[in-house]
Amino acid sequence: MVLKIENLVKVYKDIRALDGLDLEVKKSQIYGFLGPNGAGKSTTILSVLGLIFPQEGRIELFGEEVFRNGKYDESKLVEAKRRIGYMPEHATLWNFLTPMQTLDIIGEAFGIPKPEREKQARELLELLNLWEVRDKKVGKFSKGMQQRLLLAQALMNDPELLILDEPMTGLDPTGIAEFKEIIREQKKAGKTVFFSSHILAHVEEICDTVGVIVKGKLRVEDKLDNIKREFLKRAGYTIVLETNRPVDFSGVEWKVTSLGEKKYRIVAPGDIREAVHDFVAAQGAKILTMQVKEPSLEEIFLKMVE
C-alpha cells in the first residue's frame, strides 16, 4: 500500500472538513479523488503532506506510519516526502524565470547535483513538450504550458507517488487529453498517481479506481464504470425527443412532458434510450432527434448524500 488513511478528522474552527475519512491507494494505481467543491479534497492532500494538522486518525505512507492521533512522526514524514511529487491546486510559477531555471532551482532544493539535475530537467521538458520553450519566460505561457511545468516540478525528484491537486482544472479539452496521456505514461513508468478533481470527465478513461468524497467522508470507492452505473440510475436521465408524428405516451411510467405536437421531454430513473426507441417504433413513428442529458456530477453527488 502506498497511501493508507484511517478515520482522519480535521476540524477548522466549526467546519468538520474531514469527518472520519478512510482511503487506500495501492502501488501503480491511478486513483481519482473526486468530490464537489468544499468536500475536503485539498484538506486530505495537505494532511497527507503534513502541511496542516488534523486532529484524529492515522496516515501511512509507503507502509510507514507518519501520523497518528494528532501527531506527525517528523523523521518518517520527511523520509516519505522524498518519495512524493506534489502539484498544489493554486501553485504559482516564477514568471521571470525560464522552465530550465525553474527546474534547476527545484532540483537544487532536492539536493540533486548539477549535471544530474540538468539531465533530469531536459528529460522532463522533452516529455512534457516544453523543450522548445525551455529558455522562454514562464510568465507568457498558456495555462496548459504552466500546468505541464508544474508537473515537471513535481517530477524533479523522480517520485514514486505523485499527488496532484486539481491538475486539469482550467485546461481546454486538448490540454486535458494531453494531461491524461502524461498521467498514463507515469503509470507505465511504475509510478502511483493520486489526483483530485470535481469534474467527472477528468477521471474518465484513466483511473483504475475512483474514490468519491462528500462532506469529508469517502462515500464510495470503486471503478468509475460501476460508480456511474449505480448513481446515474438514481439521479435520472432527461431525454428530449422529436418524432415524425405524434406519439401516445399514456400508460408509461416515465414522466413525459409535451414540448409541442411531436416533441417530448422524458425524465426517467435510468438509461431508457432503447425502451423509448422501441416504444416509439411500436406506434409506427420514427425518432427524428434524440438528445440525452446525463445528470450532472453535482446531481449525482446529491444522490450520494441522501
Ligand X SMILES: Nc1ncnc2c1ncn2[C@@H]1O[C@H](COP(=O)(O)OP(=O)(O)OP(=O)(O)O)[C@@H](O)[C@H]1O
Q: How far apart are CA 24 and CA 3, in angstroms?
A: 6
We find the least distance from the C-beta atom of residue 196 to ligand X, in angstroms, to be 7
We find the least distance from the C-beta atom of residue 304 to ligand X, in angstroms, to be 14
Q: Would you say 16 or 136 has its CB closer to ligand X?
A: 16
Q: Would you say 71 or 90 has its CB closer to ligand X?
A: 90
We find the least distance from the C-beta atom of residue 42 to ligand X, in angstroms, to be 3
Strand order in the sheet with 56-61: 15-25, 3-12, 56-61, 64-68, 71-72
Q: Which residue has the cell 505514461?
A: 185
Q: How far apart are CA 211 and CA 33, in angstroms?
A: 5
Binding residues for ligand X (CB under 6 A) = 12, 15, 17, 35, 37-43, 89, 198
3 state SS of 246: coil
Q: Would you say 87 or 130 has its CB closer to ligand X?
A: 87
**Region for 66 from its dihedrals, namely left if φ exceeds 0, alpha if ψ lies in -120 to 50, beta otherwise:** alpha
The answer to whether 229 and 67 are in contact (CB under 8 A) is: no
We find the least distance from the C-beta atom of residue 25 to ligand X, in angstroms, to be 17
Q: Would you say 124 or 297 has its CB closer to ligand X?
A: 297
Q: Would you say 41 or 81 has its CB closer to ligand X?
A: 41
| Alpha helix (H) residue ranges in the chain | 41-48, 74-81, 99-109, 114-127, 143-155, 173-188, 200-203, 224-235, 273-282, 297-305
We find the least distance from the C-beta atom of residue 211 to ligand X, in angstroms, to be 12
